[in-house]
A and B are shown apart, each in its own frame.
Chain A
């Protein structure tokens, strides 16, 4: 299981135990390929066969701990805005990573995934780390997208690639780990908000990762 979500960011003695790098990760892919299920599996370790779009939950955080670094993902779900091709540009702003999801039992969703990759290359930051996830690998009997085909496409476009199953948890943590591994864990990454600006909060104080003078 992934590490405690908030514990790692605490600084009980004023000095951080580990370096905390926060990254914005956006999910893309056709409706019903399992975007939310992947995140729920990763963040909560859960799977619901008949997952409805989770009202009010399209924004989750999860941390992965390496030796000296905690990578905190701020995960953005599309909130259904992709359904009628109406995803807002703000969705991509400052995203350092993306998972483009398709359903291995549905060739159309793979075609659409390629379009999402193009869209990311057009809209998002040039340095974005993109992973392609062929989800529903537990349904291999009904497979319509060959592993090799997707792997070849991913290689051509410099994408990370894994087949995943939110249902069995196969490769779910792994794909997030692979992304975390590839992200530059520099000071810039540790600077808090994704675009380098500031977030507004209840308190007048900046967030802990920014308050060191």
Chain B
């Protein structure tokens, strides 16, 4: 039924609704290209999607039963720490008065819609390229955000807040007055460097690490820890100049929206591709989920122009340019396999409290330094009910690192530092939140660019292990510029108030009365 009127000829067909694909689709549609955007699955986002609890269970099942999907996502390990059914809903701790809910698996199932769990959780730097793009393109009005309220690190075997703003540095009790001055001086100088000054200042540090530089500058171990692990998000081998640039990026994004440089999208990172899709649709893009592709062919027509033809549900769809996610792209179209790189280890936990008590509901970025010598640094994001990620009383916590062994071995030691993973009585007073449910998995890193054997087929990378979306934005812009050379990338979409409808046009006063009468509309 839906296929009869399905159009078959487009200027651009985009296959896959991941972040890069969606930005390219929006950008092409925005400047007037005729775009078809489709996805083989029944939801938006591909590997960038967020799921409610039921959807996540389906995702786990699908991956476990499909060897093809295990090429992208593998080593899945899901575990419950709570009973299937709870005997009673709540118990009241008489001393504290606050009833603490005892969660059961059945409660999770009943409230499944209140969960939005990301497969690729990412933050936005307040002055980073994605925020600027959302604002300049006016796509920002489709999304809501929450500010990350604090940045934590793991120092001397405990969680510590990282002073990131000037006010934080002065307020913190963690470092002494001399250290405060030292830290301020370092941060101020980093933020003040222009590109040129930076290259100049660090020209002798080319083969050295940030740690060596900070040590050379006489910073104390605590300060080095803050700057290296928490602000730059690095490890001991982070090259000096790269680390300084990371610090500058962090510092430059302070003071725009909140106390930290970061924003988190309401309902999860998986909302963002959908925002770009909406803009694409608003400018005439055609959307079709549940539409797998069977075959991609290219054929040269007159004047050496190449047309790409896609077979999908026994229909032939033609386009001048095909933009396709790396996971959907037929191998023979890629000129090379994505460069071998380190895969990603991920984990998601649902807990019954925050990792560090706070007055208001916190939204936390925790940067763990490597606990063992051959480990990588671990990024942790804790999001609560106010972000639309989970029901009241719970927190969702994401762990991300580069893979060394497998997700569970890589991340469990870190999780055990901040959660009580023993199961047991949920109402018991503990200094750590109880872990109620966990999922570990590995994802193949498909974030390095892949070129195609045909000029008008453009392959979009998968998600990277980084904290932000910057690489996706950068790649999308590059692909757009190849498809539409010389065109503006996502110019500002007008506000509703600015859209002039035909009847809105107010004509100036007529010059001659006679003509005025002639122009009278026929009623």
Contacts and interface: CB of A to CB of B under 8 A. Distances in A.
Interface stretch (A130-138, A172-180, A198-206): A198-206
Contact of A80 (B140, B287, B499): B287
B144 A79 contact: no
B288 A199 contact: no
Interface of B: 2, 6, 43-44, 113, 131, 134-135, 140-147, 256-257, 263, 266-267, 271, 274-275, 277-278, 281-284, 286-291, 386-388, 493-494, 496-497, 499, 501-504
Q: Kindly name the residue among A6, A89, A91 whose own CB sees the greatest number of chain B CB atoms within 10 A.
A: A89
Contacts of A88: 44, 274, 277-278
Contacts of A147: none
Contacts of A195: 144, 266-267, 388
Contacts of B288: 84, 86
A59 interface: yes
Interface stretch (A13-21, A50-58, A96-104, A155-163): A50-58
B245 to A, nearest CB: 23
Interface string A76-94: 0001110111101111011
Nearest to A126: B113
Contacts of B504: 44
A197 B289 contact: no
B278 A198 contact: no
B494 A84 contact: no
A93 B113 CA distance: 12
Contact of A79 (B113, B281, B290, B388): B281
A209 interface: no
Contacts of A181: none
Interface of A: 5-6, 40, 43-44, 46, 48, 53-61, 79-81, 83-86, 88-91, 93-94, 122-123, 193-202, 204
A90 B144 contact: no
A92 to B, nearest CB: 10
B232 to A, nearest CB: 25
Given A93-B388, A94-B144, A193-B144, A57 B496 contact: yes
B137 to A, nearest CB: 11
Contacts of A40: 501
Given A90-B275, A90-B278, A198-B146, A81 B287 contact: yes
Nearest 6 pairs between A and B by C-beta? Answer: A197-B144, A79-B281, A197-B266, A86-B287, A200-B140, A88-B274
Nearest to B493: A56
B393 to A, nearest CB: 17
Given A84-B288, A198-B145, A199-B140, A90 B283 contact: no
Contact of A56 (B277, B290, B494): B494
B290 A85 contact: yes
A94 B494 CA distance: 23
Contacts of A93: 144, 266-267, 271, 388
26 contacts: A44-B501, A53-B284, A55-B283, A56-B283, A56-B499, A57-B282, A58-B278, A58-B282, A79-B278, A79-B282, A80-B284, A80-B287, A81-B277, A84-B289, A88-B44, A88-B277, A89-B274, A90-B142, A90-B143, A93-B388, A197-B146, A198-B145, A199-B143, A200-B131, A201-B140, A204-B256
Contacts of A6: 497
Contacts of A90: 142-143, 267, 271, 274-275, 278
A196 B389 CA distance: 13
Q: Kindly name the residue among B134, B494, B499 whose own CB sees the greatest number of chain A CB atoms within 10 A.
A: B499
B443 to A, nearest CB: 22
Nearest to B272: A90
Contacts of A81: 277-278, 281, 287
A89 B44 contact: yes
Nearest to B291: A84
Q: Kindly name the residue among B6, B256, B277 whose own CB sees the greatest number of chain A CB atoms within 10 A.
A: B277
Nearest to B139: A200
Contacts of A91: 278
B284 A197 contact: no
A204 B147 CA distance: 13
Contact of A57 (B43, B145, B499): B499
B246 to A, nearest CB: 23
B147 A198 contact: yes
Nearest to A47: B503
B386 A196 contact: yes
Contacts of A122: 113
Nearest to A125: B113
Nearest to B386: A196
Q: Kindly name the residue among A85, A194, A197, A198 whose own CB sees the greatest number of chain B CB atoms within 10 A.
A: A197
A105 to B, nearest CB: 20
A16 B146 CA distance: 25
Given A5-B497, A88-B277, A200-B134, A59 B141 contact: yes
A211 to B, nearest CB: 13
